[in-house]
Every structure is written in structure tokens, then in C-alpha cells.
Amino acid sequence: MPVINTKRNSEHHDSIVIPSSILSVEPTLETKTITASRIARIAGIFQLENILVYRNTDIWNYRVLCDILKFLKTPPYLRKYYKKKRTLSKIGLAYPLNIAIHKVKPDIHANPLRIGYILKAEGKKALVDVGLEKPLEIKLPTKMKPGSMILVDAIHQTPVPEDIYYTGYNVHCIKNSRDLELTVKKISADIKIGTSVKGKNYKKCTRCASARKRLFFFGGPRKGVLEVYGENVFDEIINIMENQGTDTIRTEEAICIVLSRLS
């Protein structure tokens, strides 16, 4: 029996920064798609708040990673609004995200909590697609543009605060170090943690486990966090896996290990 948890994890609000170069070692779009979807799955399992994709390689891998992460975060019943893209041409190979908010049935009484896509908006009134036969008329808390998404109670046709429920990660696609700096400031994490074999043992970093809002930086296949982001970005640099049994640890594996040991 699956365990479905719609509510947010109240202990930690974590985000990650990953370089686009993680897809550079994947030889085909098929394998790139599978790797990107693994990262999406990990993000859903640990209820990550944000995924920052930092471009440190060619534009193709950057776009593939961003587009796949965004697509998988979108509920299946709203993916019809996505334009066809070459980057998504192998999306059928991706592992489904399957977060609780995506698992809906036609009966709104079985699943009243839904993510809605704003079709039209006039002032604070909007026509919203929530995966039913007809769109709902919703009174918005603030003005929102068509194409935006909002969490709603489909029975009462009212918005629902997103700080209570987990609706998936936000994807930030970042092209340069300046934009990375601005996005990191916007997220306003309590602690910025780099992960590296050159860092100190994670058990010696008490703040790494206790901080509520954490931002973890990960390196790529050929360059570590110090080479990718510089030395002045982090509050702490930790080694999460001393005496590892393999020559290298893939980025998606490192994300799993870090979030598991510091959860």
C-alpha cells in the first residue's frame, strides 16, 4: 500500500543547486531523460523546495535538464498546455514524479486539493483548469497572469495556502554566476552547504543538520563544487561519504546520500 503525504515536511525546507554538466556524460537524449527524471524523483521524495540548474556547459544539456524538470513537476492533467519540444521528445522514458498532489481522480470529493492552470484572469477573478470536465471560476488572493498555476480546493472553488501542502519543487534555470547570486539571495537559506570530498566530515557540522532552510550545492562529473561555483559561495563545505567504495559518486547519488544523512 503506497504512503501518500500531501502535506509539507515541517522540519526542513531544502533546496539544491546542480550544474547542467551532469548530463554531459550521458551519450543520448534517452539517457539524459532518465537521469533528469531520477533527480526529479529524489526531489519529490525529499520534498525539495527549489532546484537551481546552473549552466556550466553547452546550451543543449542545460535546456534538456530544465525542460524535463519543469515538465515532470507539472501534474499530468495539465501537461496538455506544454508545447512540443525536442528536449522532451523522449519524456516517455522518464520515471513519473508521482507526488501526492499529482494523484487525482475524476471525483473531486476523492481529491478536492488540486493544482490549477489559470486560463483567463480579470482582476482577481480567474478561470482555472483543475483537470475536470469544465474549468472552475476562482477568486484569486492576488492578481495572477494566465499560464500561472495555483493550488485550489475544487469543491469550494477557493485558493489554498501552498505553505501547508507540497506541490512540487520550483525550477530556477540560471545562466551565469550573477544570476546565481541573485537567486540564492532570493531563496534566503539559513545555510549554504557545498558538498565535496575536500570538505570536513558532515558529522562535525552541527548547523548542517539543525538549520531549517538549507541550500545544498553539488558538483558535476568532472568538476567539483569549488571549481564550478568558486570558494566564497558556501557557509560550510562537507564530505558526506568518506572512504567511499567506488571511484566516483554520481550527482543524483550524492543528493540522495546528503538528504538521507542530514534529514
pLDDT digits 0-9 by tens, 206-254: 999 999 999 999 999 989 999 999 988 999 999 998 878 888 899 999 9
Domains of the chain listed by start with CATH number? 13-99+168-261 (3.40.1280.10), 100-159 (2.30.30)
Contact present, 71 and 93 (Cβ < 8 Å):
no
SS3 256: helix
Residue that the C-alpha cell 507539472 belongs to: 74
pLDDT per residue as tens digits for the range 130-188: 999 999 999 998 889 999 999 999 999 999 988 889 999 999 999 999 999 999 999 99
pLDDT band at 4 (very low <50, low <70, confident <90, very high): low
Q: Whole-structure pTM over 0.85, yes or no?
A: yes
Cα–Cα nearest to 74, from 50, 94, 99: 99
Cβ neighbors of 219 (< 8 A, separation 6 or more) are 19, 195, 196, 225, 226, 227, 228, 251
pLDDT at 5: 65
Non-local CB neighbours of 15 within 8 Å, separated by 6+ positions: 48, 49, 50, 51, 52, 187, 189, 214, 215, 216
pLDDT bracket for residue 45 (50, 70, 90) = very high
**DSSP assignments along 177-195, one per residue:** HHHHHHHHHHHT-SEEEEE
Asked whether the beta carbons of 101 and 165 are under 8 A apart, the reply is yes
Confidence check: pLDDT of 1 > 50? no
Per residue in 87-131, pLDDT tens? 999 999 999 999 999 988 888 888 899 999 999 999 889 999 999
User: Could you tell me where the DSSP H helices lie in the chain?
Assistant: 29-45, 59-73, 177-187, 206-210, 225-229, 251-261
3-state DSSP: the chain helix, strand, coil percent, rounded to 5?
35, 25, 45
Decide if 118 contacts 151 (C-beta within 8 A): no
More confident of the two residues 80 and 247: 80
* pLDDT above 90: residue 79: yes
194-222 residues labelled b (16+ CB within 10 A) or e (exposed): bbbeebeebeebeebeebeebbbbbbbee
pLDDT confidence bin for 12, thresholds 50/70/90: confident
Sign of the alpha-carbon torsion through 10, 197, 221, 256: negative
Strand-pair partners of 53 = 18, 173
- Identify the pLDDT of residue 10: 67
